Chain A
Amino acid sequence: MTVRNKVMTLPEAVDRFVRDGDTLHLGGFIQQQPFAAAHEILRQGKKELVLSICAGMILADQFIGAGAVSHLITTFCWNPLPATAHAFVRAVTRGIPRPIELEEYSILTLNLAYFAGAMDLPYVASKTVMGSGFDSENSPDGAKNRLRFEISPFTGERVCLVPPIRHDVGIIQVQRADPFGNAQSWGMLGESRYGMLSCERIVVCAEEIVDPDVISRDPNRTMIPGFRVDAVVEVPWGAHPSPVAGYYDMDWLYFAHYERRTRDQEGFREFMDKWVYGVPDREAYLGLMSRTRLEALRPDPRDADPVPYGTFSRHFEEARDA
C-alpha cells in the first residue's frame, strides 16, 4: 500500500486547508479543543468564517471577539467556571466588534445534524426540543436554526427533523496519529467522531505522531481513518487550556484569568495581543506560563490493560486422526 505522508507544520496546514468564508468545524467536546490550530487561524487573519462548534466555550469566544466569525453554529457559549463568555455576549447584545448570526441547537440535535452530515442523510427525525425556543413553529421569535417540524408518516405524531450539517474543513486535537492521518482518540468523545467526519477537509493535530504499527495494534481506538485526513501536525499541549485525556488536565486558572481579562473589548484585545498575535507558535505560547505549573497539570499514570487482538497466518487445517 502506498500512502502519503501528510505531516506538515501548523502554519502550512492552516494556510493550505482553511480558507476565508469556510464553514469551519472545531472538534472536541470541551476536551481536546484545537486551541493551537485555532490561534494559527487567527494569526493568519482568516475571515468571514462560519464557525461550527458544539461546545462554544472560550474558543468560540476568541474567534468572535477577534471578528473572524460571521455566523456561529453552537449549543452553548460560556466559560465553565461558570462565568460569562464576554466576547460572545458583546457580539450578541451590542454587535461588538461586529454582529454575528446565531444558529443554535441543543447538544442532541447538533450531534444528530453532524451524524446526518457525515452520512449525507437528508435528515434525522427526533422527539426532542419541541415546544421550546428552538421550535420555530411554537416560538417564531425564538432561536434561529434549521430544524423543521412535521408529522411522522409512521406514527402520526409531531417530530423534529434535524438537517445534515456539513463542513468545509474540520480541526481537532487528538492524543496520537500516524503520518498518514489515522487519528486515535480516547476519553469522553462528545460529538468528535461525526463532527469531524462531516468535514470535507480534515486537519489532525496530535499530542504525538506515532508509528503506523502503534495504530494497527489497537485499531478500535482510531476515530478518523487516515484516508479522510489532509494534514497531520504534531502539537504537544495543542489543546491547552482544554484537557486531553491521559495527557493533561483542564487549566482552570487560565479560564479564570481569561474571564477577568476579557470583560471589556480593550482587555480582550490586550489578551489576544499577548497570547495569540504576540506569539509565533505554540512553543512561545507555552513559554508565557510557568513550566512547573503546566507540568502539574499532568495526570498520575493509570494505564488500561492491553487487549488481545490476535493474529493469523493460515486458513483452516483439516482435523487429523489421532
Chain B
Amino acid sequence: MPSPDKRTPTPVERMIVAASHLVEDHAVLMVGTQWPIIVSLLARATHAPGAVICYEGGIVLQDMPGRIPLFTADPVVQSCAAFLGESLDTLGMVLHGGRCRMALLSAASVDRFGNINTTCIGPYVSPTLRFGGSGGACDFGSLSPRTVIVMEHDRRRFPERVDFITTPGYLDGGGERYRAGLRPRTGPYAVVTTLGLFRFNEAGEMILSGFHEGTDVEEIRGQVQWDLKVADDVGPLPSPTPLELDTLRRLDPERMYLEYKRLLEGKEISL
C-alpha cells in the first residue's frame, strides 16, 4: 500500500472520494457501518457541511467526531451527537417516516439489479458460507429514496443474481420492486467501487457510468459476472483534489479505514 504522504490516491481513497461526491449539502443521510461512515464524514468536511448524518441505533450527529468512528455504534459518536434516541427514532421516524434523502451502505455482494447480499452463499437453510446478516441494511434499501452502495471491487462480489436478497434493490427489474409493495421513487441510486461508478437505468439494471484513473470500460466489464451495460456518456471520474485527499487523510490519520488498521492484522494482542 502506498504511504499516506504520497500524492497519488489509493483505489480505496478514490472510492471514498467518488462516493462522497454523491452526497448533497443538507441532505438527510442514513449511514450504515463501514465505508459509509468515512464517506459521509468526508462529504461533511468538504462540500456538504450541512449534511445530516443519522445512524441506525438512534443517533443524529452534530459535530465532527474526535476520532473516526470504527463503526456506527462507536461510543465517540455520542460525544458529538445532536440527538441520542432509539432505533425507532432513526429507522422509524427518519427513514420509514420519509425524512431521509439518501442511504449509504456497504455490501458483501451486489447483483445486476442492485440487490445486496450480506447473509449467505448457498441455500439459506444450509449455506456454504454465512455472513453477519441484515442489521438495518434491509430497511435502508427498502425505504430510502436513494441508496448508494460502497464496496471494494472484486468480481466474486458481483454475481448476476445474489443467492439471498438481504437488501432489496430492483429485484428482477422492470418494476418488480414496486409490485412487491415497496414505495415508489425508492431504490438503488449508485454503486461506487474501487474501479468505478455504476448507476441504474429505467429497468433497474446496473450500468457503468464512470471509471477511476488507471482502469477502463473493458477491464470493468470483465469484473462483473454478467454482460454489463455501459452508459452512452461513460467517462473518467474526477480524480480526488489535493484538498479532498488531504481532508480524507486527516479524518483517518491512523489509517483505520484507509489501510484496515482497525483489523489489527499481524499485531500481537495483549489484554
Contact = CB atoms under 8 A, between A and B. Distances in A.
Contacts of A160: 181
A116 B139 CA distance: 18
B133 A142 contact: no
Interface string A227-250: 000000000000000010100011
A132 interface: yes
B92 interface: yes
B134 interface: yes
Contacts of A104: 119, 133-134
Contacts, number: 214
Contact of B87 (A31, A76, A108, A245): A108
Nearest to A90: B130
B176 interface: yes
A127 B143 CA distance: 8
B123 interface: yes
A141 B88 contact: no
Interface in B128-151: 128-139, 141-143
Contacts of A106: 134-139, 142
A30 B77 CA distance: 13
Given A80-B71, A93-B128, A187-B84, A132 B138 contact: yes
Given A76-B135, A189-B84, A190-B57, A130 B181 contact: yes
Contact of A252 (B136, B182, B262): B262
A132 B165 contact: yes
Nearest to B121: A93
Interface residues of B, number: 65
A134 interface: yes
Given A81-B263, A302-B79, A133 B57 contact: no
Interface in A176-204: 186-194
Contact of A78 (B56, B57, B131, B141): B131
Interface in B49-63: 55-59
B51 to A, nearest CB: 20
A191 B129 CA distance: 28
Interface stretch (A1-9, A17-25, A288-296): A288-296
A157 interface: yes
A139 interface: yes
Interface stretch (B4-12, B16-24, B166-174, B233-241): B166-174
A253 B176 contact: no
B269 interface: yes
B180 interface: yes
A194 to B, nearest CB: 7
Contact of B271 (A81, A92, A288, A299): A288
Contact of A245 (B78, B167, B181): B78
A136 B237 CA distance: 40
Nearest to A92: B130
26 contacts: A74-B133, A76-B132, A77-B133, A78-B131, A80-B73, A84-B132, A93-B126, A104-B119, A108-B92, A111-B87, A127-B143, A131-B176, A132-B167, A133-B119, A133-B124, A133-B164, A133-B165, A134-B138, A143-B124, A157-B181, A189-B86, A190-B57, A192-B86, A243-B75, A245-B75, A250-B75
Interface of A: 29-31, 54-56, 74-78, 80-85, 88-89, 92-93, 104-109, 111-112, 115, 126-135, 138-139, 141-144, 149, 157-160, 186-194, 243, 245, 249-250, 252-254, 256-257, 260, 288-290, 293, 299, 302
